[in-house]
Amino acid sequence: MKPVAIITGASSGIGESLAYEAARSGYSVVISARNIEKLQFVKSNCEKLGATCLSVQADVSKETDCQNLIDTAFRSFGRIDLLINNAGISMRALLKDCSLDVIRQLMDTNFWGTVYCTKFALPHLLDAKGSVVGISSIAGIKGLPGRTGYSASKFAMHGFLESLRIENLRTGLHVLVACPGYTASNIRNTALNSSGQSQSESPLDESKLMQPDIVAKEVFKAIRKKKRYIYLSFEGKATNFLNKFFSSWLDKLVYNKVASEKDSPFK
């Protein structure tokens, strides 16, 4: 029987590429997202790669949707070997200008979505001695100005998954936190502004960023090797190192980088 992978936020970007990589790697694939039309397109492509694929519409900020996703996957395949918590949203606004509802939305999706899905999948993952993956960010290593809610949600994800790893040191559960760095995806276009509306346009040149298929390959390589953390860009590796030894200097570097972005919140 093929192993079964569940991937949240699989309708585009990194999540879509993760679905295809799971299909290529021999998994039966369960994909979820809010947009069922886009999910059906990804499902069709997974099937063309030879995988059995199930699409489940879900908003991971809703506990009941997460429960249904996990229950549907288990009823359909009888096992769960891999859960990749990829679904996420971003923001771009200084806290002084930002509605608290924006912060709540970030935490509900990025943090609580990970908690809900992991909690409900955990019994099955323990039976399979499987893997839990959190797709995080440089923002989970270093707080980013203009992304207070995003950084908070990723820091919270890191703490949750690290605690889960230590709780399961003797159970065989594998826990991976992946920090891709800036990756070409839709997350910046859909990032929330101070009032909770989509900013619609990315402040970065997406063509120069890491491509999601490269991220997906590296994530599955890390799963096979049962790595604990991966940092997939020079920027991410440098941030992780510099924050340990030169944190104050890095604060200024990060400030200047964000201040130089197109339509920076500092302007």
- Only one residue has tokens 């120069």, namely 208
Residues acting as catalytic residues: 150
Classify residue 96 by burial, with Cβ atoms within 10 Å: 0-12, 13-18, 19+.
exposed
d(CA 197, CA 91): 9
What is the strand order of the sheet 229-231 is part of? 53-57, 28-33, 4-7, 82-85, 131-135, 174-179, 229-231
Structure tokens at 248: 């104050």
Structure tokens at 173: 């559960």
d(CA 142, CA 250): 9
